[in-house]
């Protein structure tokens, strides 16, 4: 069972009783609890505290044989599409230098000279969110090297290759179908922090692949 399946099963098994929900609601009505909640949110989002947290987590994971790399992606753009034709879907296309650079080599196909591109990327397991109309949607995060995003911004054909790479990666790794015909580009949503884990014996949370395409 992969990480996505385990995470989905965890959410399906997540059960909140009426009493627990009532207790949460009652707590949110108390000003003291709301203040503590705000203080906690400010603490965990503070850049200095985040660095300390990442350092501590890295050390703890290292002690149990896990190599952890925190990925703080910078904005790129968003692909709007749908999953299996019936649910709105967003692909966050972002950049980070942790991911390898794109590489190319000369190619010659059917009498045409071109470049054969290898474009590494990292996938994050999907999550559910709400769009601006409060309709539930699914979000996939795809991270490329900054050079990949730069080239995509300068060349329309290369951007098509990057988009195809992201969508093909999501489809093949998460066993879904994305409706390519409904694809539109949107401004990037607020960024978030991702943690990429490399296990010594198996690679579980990171899906880092190279996709080869020909650009003529």
Three-state DSSP class for residue 155: coil
Question: In angstroms, what CA-CA distances link 155 with 63, 102, 148, 216?
Answer: 45, 14, 11, 12
Domains of the chain, residue spans: 16-64, 74-187
Closest CA to 146 of 188, 97, 98: 97
C-alpha gyration radius of the chain? 20
- Six token digits for residue 60: 């703890």
When pLDDT is averaged across residues 68-85 and rounded to a whole number, the result is 82
pTM for this one?
Answer: 0.64
- Six token digits for residue 169: 């990666």
Spatial neighbors of 117 by CB under 8 A, at least 6 apart, are: 102, 103, 104, 158, 161, 212, 213, 214, 215
pLDDT in tens, 185-213: 666 554 344 444 433 332 223 333 333 44
Using CA atoms, how far apart are residues 167 and 146, in angstroms rounded to an integer?
18
CA 79 centroid distance within chain? 12
When pLDDT is averaged across residues 20-44 and rounded to a whole number, the result is 84
Q: Which of 31-40, 49-58, 78-87, 99-108 is least confident? A: 49-58
Contact 198, 69 (CB under 8 A): yes
């Amino acid at each position: 069972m992969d990480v996505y399946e385990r995470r989905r099963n965890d959410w399906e098994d997540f059960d909140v009783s009426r009493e627990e929900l009532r207790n949460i609601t009652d707590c949110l009505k108390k000003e003291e609890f709301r203040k503590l909640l705000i203080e906690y949110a400010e603490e965990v989002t503070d850049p200095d505290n985040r660095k300390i947290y990442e350092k501590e987590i890295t050390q703890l994971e290292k002690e149990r044989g896990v190599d952890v790399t925190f990925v703080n992606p910078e904005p790129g753009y968003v692909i709007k599409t749908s999953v299996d034709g019936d649910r709105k879907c967003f692909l966050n296309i972002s950049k980070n230098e942790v991911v390898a650079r794109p590489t190319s080599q000369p190619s010659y196909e059917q009498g045409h000279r071109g470049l054969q591109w290898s474009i590494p990327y990292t996938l994050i397991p999907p999550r559910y969110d709400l769009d601006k109309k409060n309709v539930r949607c699914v979000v996939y995060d795809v991270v490329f090297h900054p050079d990949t995003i730069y080239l995509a911004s300068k060349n329309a054909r290369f951007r098509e290759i990057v988009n195809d790479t992201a969508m093909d990666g999501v489809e093949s790794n998460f066993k879904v179908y994305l409706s390519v015909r409904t694809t539109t580009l949107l401004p990037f949503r607020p960024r978030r922090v991702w943690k990429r884990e490399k296990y010594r014996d198996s690679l579980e949370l990171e899906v880092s692949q190279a996709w080869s395409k020909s650009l003529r």
